Amino acid sequence: MEPQKVVEVKGLTASFDEKEILKDVSFSAKKGEVTVILGGSGSGKTTVLRHLLGLIPLTQGHIEVLGKDISNLTEDEQLSLYLQLGVFYQNGALLNSLTVGENVGLPLNQHSKIPKPLVEEIVTMKLGLVNLEYAYHMFPSQLSGGMLKRAALARAIAMDPPLLFCDEPGAGLDPISLESLDNLILNLKNLLGMSVLMVTHEVSSIMRVADHIVYLDEGKVVFEGTVENAMKSDEPSVKAFFSVFRNQQK
């Protein structure tokens, strides 16, 4: 049986200041897979992600997330949908005035009626999943870059989302920390049964985590398929992107 689609985009077109940023973008992401959106700087990948998260209004095209047409939702339906999405931001986006535990517990305290003692238990468990249980009472300013990423990941999965969005999760990490984060995301995906949609330009990450690739060039999808097929692609921009990895392997 064909896996269920957790994201489906058809004919997404977007312009800003009369400049066309996205041109008839269509792709899908399947349940249980890691789908990676990639492309060079200015290719439109972050703009696609912002549309999926509802941060940019949809003006042309069709987007379904977890089976819901995002342009046709009431305010309550929109909130219900977005509570099913985890978002792992590039800079972590933790609040410096709160402890790590308070940051991770924030979605639970704001959007659920779970009693405080149980919230604390859930937070401890989530921090344990990212190997940060000892950091519960620490503040973000006391964490290293890699620890900040893991804390942000713990918050993103606080409400057990079926779909996790990652915006350049490995940005600024050294190769060892990057590999550790990639493996952590994969382990959590398998453990929690999540689907993952990731925007990244890190070739090593793509090779480790991606099941499915969507490659954008100048606002258009020029390749969609597996990593294996991307490595064989004759599309000039895709070929150039993966040539870096091939050269490293020699």
| Residues in a beta bridge with 68 | 65
Q: How confident is the model at residue 3 (pLDDT cuts 50, 70, 90)?
A: confident
For residue 121, the number of C-alpha atoms closer than 13 Å in the C-beta half-sphere is: 5
If asked whether residues 191 and 218 sit together in one domain, one would say: yes
Q: How many helical (H) and strand (E) elements, i.e. helices and strands, does the chain have? A: 9, 10
Length of the chain as a residue count = 250
Give the C-alpha separation, 237 to 245, whole Å.
14
Total domain count for the chain?
Answer: 2
Indicate the DSSP class of residue 43.
Answer: S
pLDDT at 210 over 70: yes
Task: Give me Rg for the CA atoms of the chain.
Answer: 18
In a domain, 133, yes or no: yes
Give the pLDDT band of residue 162 (cuts 50, 70, 90): very high
Please state, in angstroms and rounded to a whole number, the distance separating the CA atoms of residues 237 and 16. Answer: 24
pTM: 0.90
- Identify whether the C-beta of residue 187 lies closer than 8 Å to the C-beta of residue 206: no
Q: Which domain holds residue 153?
A: 95-160
Shared domain for 153 and 175, answered yes or no, is no
> Are 4 and 30 spatial neighbours (Cβ–Cβ below 8 Å)?
yes
CATH of the domain at 186: 3.40.50.300
Residue 89 lies in a domain: no
Residue 40 has a pLDDT of 81
Same domain, 41 and 127: no
Three-state DSSP class for residue 131 = coil
166 with 244, same domain? yes
pLDDT tens track for 104-152: 999 888 888 888 889 999 999 999 999 999 999 999 999 888 889 899 9
The CA-based angle 230-10-212, given to 5 degrees, is 25
Residue 123 shares a structural domain with residue 72: no
196 assigned to some structural domain: yes
Distance separating alpha carbons of residues 179 and 104, to the nearest angstrom:
23
**250 has a pLDDT exceeding 60:** no
Question: Is residue 70 domain-shared with residue 167, that is, in the same domain?
Answer: yes
205 domain residue, yes or no: yes
